[in-house]
């Protein structure tokens, strides 16, 4: 449904906020909140510690998971404080604390004054306009941070406190509806992925011929494999025998954020690599001159890509034939294979199978997200069929999983649209682009409007 508009508007005086409702005030954030800068020794405190990795991006929800083991000093907060991740602010880590605790010093702790409702502040700081303007201010190439000096001087829009509460309650209700729909889509995605993985895993460990003689794989959980398959084939052996055939991208100092452009040679990130599909979400480029400097990590159509980070790491895909050559970042592995030894489609399927993930996990390090090093990854060994059989298996599997991948793409598109709608709704509500004062929360709750 469409929402009402405010009838009387005037200029906010801020380009990115545009017009505002006439009765809303504009004030610098630092005059409406207190910055809480109480540092506490984690070891000496009994308060629970919250890591930024346990705050979900764009929703503000606390994610269940293993408690971070933090040493040294953290910031203390009280229930009702708003926590804002200043490290990589584009991740939109904003949380309204429900209990007292400690948080990483990479977060700001702000406490609302009487004129600003904490729930409204949380949503305001989660709005896309606010996140974008904060992100534009960051310093540091490898670990970009925003400063309170910049954030505190940003404008905040202030309806009357009762109206702030109304807006916050509206957003609580609407985002809960949207999140429920997203959760259903993600559950469907998990089922499709499980079905796809099961098909792949059987073929890359047992082959296509059920009558083939078998032998012990020497891997307890893997059981028997076709007797003519080779055991212990080293991954590095499958790469083309040429310089820079098996690389990851440049270190942060070799590719600064200031060197990224809006067009030119595409930069490939780990988030662009999904199981058996390449889907570029990023929009960063470098100049032709910079790409030439980083030629050792160039990716060309047909190359095999893996995400070095993830939950779990190791998502693999082939760089599309119709894509322009690009540059991979440090969290992406690019392999140019020896096509007389290994088939790229088969190896991609292998990496995305349960067997492949098990082997990769043996060299993965658990941190904020799982990751592996290039050196350890190169040394991995796999059971491999002959080249012609690799191609047969890959051809058969691709035809079987294509309908599943198409379904997954449709589900991902629905999720992306729901997430975009959620973000737009928050931004429009807290900046006065829609008037929700007359919105009545249905009793009992009904479907999303």
CATH number for domain 230-384, candidates 3.90.220.20, 1.20.1250.20, 3.10.20.600, 3.20.20.300: 3.90.220.20
Q: Tell me the mean pLDDT in the region 136-148.
A: 86
Per-residue pLDDT band at 367 (split at 50, 70, 90): low
Per-residue pLDDT band at 444 (split at 50, 70, 90): low
pLDDT at 68: 47
For residue 131, count other CB atoms closer than 10 A to its CB: 23
The domain locations on the chain are: 25-158, 162-215+386-444, 230-384
CB distance 291 to 251 below 8 Å: no
pLDDT at 319: 98
The percent of the chain in helix, strand and coil, each rounded to the nearest 5, is: 35, 25, 40
Say which range, 269-283, 377-391, 408-422, has the weakest mean pLDDT.
Answer: 269-283
Whole-prediction pTM value?
0.81
Residue 62 to residue 47: CA distance in whole angstroms: 16
- We find that the CATH architecture of domain 25-158 is Alpha-Beta Complex (3.90)
Chain mean pLDDT for the chain: 93
Residue 433 to residue 19: CA distance in whole angstroms: 8
Alpha helix ranges (H) inside 207-329: 288-293
Q: Tell me the mean pLDDT in the region 140-147.
A: 81
pLDDT at residue 96 is higher than 50: yes
Q: Tell me the mean pLDDT in the region 370-375.
A: 90
Per-residue model confidence as pLDDT tens digits over 39-78: 999 889 999 999 888 899 999 999 875 454 455 899 999 9
- Gyration radius from the chain CA atoms: 25
Per-residue pLDDT band at 447 (split at 50, 70, 90): low
Q: Tell me the mean pLDDT in the region 82-101.
A: 96
HSE value, Cβ hemisphere, 13 Å, CA-based, for 49: 22
Q: Tell me the mean pLDDT in the region 376-393.
A: 96
Distance in angstroms between the alpha carbons of the first and the last residue of the chain? 5
pLDDT at 251: 77
Q: 329 vs 71, which has greater pLDDT? A: 329
pLDDT at residue 365 is higher than 90: no
pLDDT at residue 130 is higher than 80: yes
Helix (H) or strand (E) holding 423: helix 387-430
- For 45: left if phi > 0, alpha if psi spans -120 to 50, otherwise beta; the answer is beta
HSE value, Cβ hemisphere, 13 Å, CA-based, for 124: 27
φ, ψ for residue 105, nearest 5 deg: -70, -5
pLDDT at 1: 58
Residue 141 to residue 308: CA distance in whole angstroms: 20
Residue 290 to residue 255: CA distance in whole angstroms: 9
Residue 395 to residue 244: CA distance in whole angstroms: 28
Per-residue pLDDT band at 220 (split at 50, 70, 90): confident
Say which range, 4-13, 253-262, 289-298, 372-381, has the weakest mean pLDDT.
Answer: 253-262
pLDDT at 65: 55
The yes-or-no answer to whether 25-158 and 230-384 have a common fold is yes
């Amino acid at each position: 449904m469409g929402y009402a508009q405010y009838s009387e508007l005037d200029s906010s005086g801020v380009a990115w906020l545009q017009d505002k409702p006439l009765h809303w005030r504009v004030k610098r954030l630092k005059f409406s909140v207190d910055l809480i800068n109480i540092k506490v020794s984690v070891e000496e405190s009994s308060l629970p510690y919250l890591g930024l990795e346990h705050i979900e991006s764009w929703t503000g929800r606390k994610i269940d998971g293993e408690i971070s083991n933090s040493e040294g000093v953290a910031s203390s907060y009280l229930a009702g404080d708003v926590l804002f991740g200043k490290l990589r602010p584009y991740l939109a880590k904003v949380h309204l604390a429900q209990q007292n605790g400690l948080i990483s010093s990479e977060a700001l702790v702000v406490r609302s004054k009487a004129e600003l409702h904490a729930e409204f502040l949380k949503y305001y700081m989660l709005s896309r306009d606010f996140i974008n303007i904060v992100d534009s201010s960051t310093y540091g190439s490898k670990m970009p941070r925003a400063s309170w000096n910049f954030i505190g001087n940003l404008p905040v829009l202030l309806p009357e406190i009762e109206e702030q509460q109304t807006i916050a309650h509206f957003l609580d209700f609407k985002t809960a509806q949207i999140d429920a729909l997203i959760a259903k889509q993600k559950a469907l995605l998990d089922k499709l992925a499980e079905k796809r993985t099961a098909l792949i895993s059987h073929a890359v460990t047992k082959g296509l011929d059920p009558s083939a003689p078998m032998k012990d794989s020497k891997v307890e959980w893997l059981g028997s494999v076709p007797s003519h398959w080779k055991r212990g084939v080293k991954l590095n052996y499958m790469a083309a025998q040429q310089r820079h055939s098996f690389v990851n991208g440049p270190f942060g100092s070799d590719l600064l954020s200031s060197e990224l452009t809006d067009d030119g040679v595409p930069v490939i990130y780990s988030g662009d690599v999904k199981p058996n599909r390449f889907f570029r979400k990023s929009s960063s480029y470098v100049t032709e001159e910079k790409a030439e400097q980083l030629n050792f990590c160039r990716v060309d159509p047909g190359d095999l890509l893996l995400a070095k980070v993830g939950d779990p790491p190791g998502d693999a895909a082939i760089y599309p034939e119709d894509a322009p050559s690009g540059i991979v970042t440090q969290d992406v592995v690019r392999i140019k294979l020896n096509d007389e030894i290994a088939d790229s489609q088969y190896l991609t399927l292998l990496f995305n199978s349960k067997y492949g993930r098990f082997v990769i996990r043996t060299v993965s390090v658990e941190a904020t997200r799982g990751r592996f090093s290039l050196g350890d990854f190169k040394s991995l060994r796999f059971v491999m069929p002959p080249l012609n059989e690799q191609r047969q298996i890959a051809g058969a599997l691709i035809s079987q999983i294509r309908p599943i991948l198409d379904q997954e793409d449709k589900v991902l598109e629905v999720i992306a649209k729901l997430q975009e709608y959620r973000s737009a709704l928050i931004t429009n509500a807290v900046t006065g682009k829609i008037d929700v004062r007359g919105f009545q929360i249905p009793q009992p709750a009904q479907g999303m409007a």
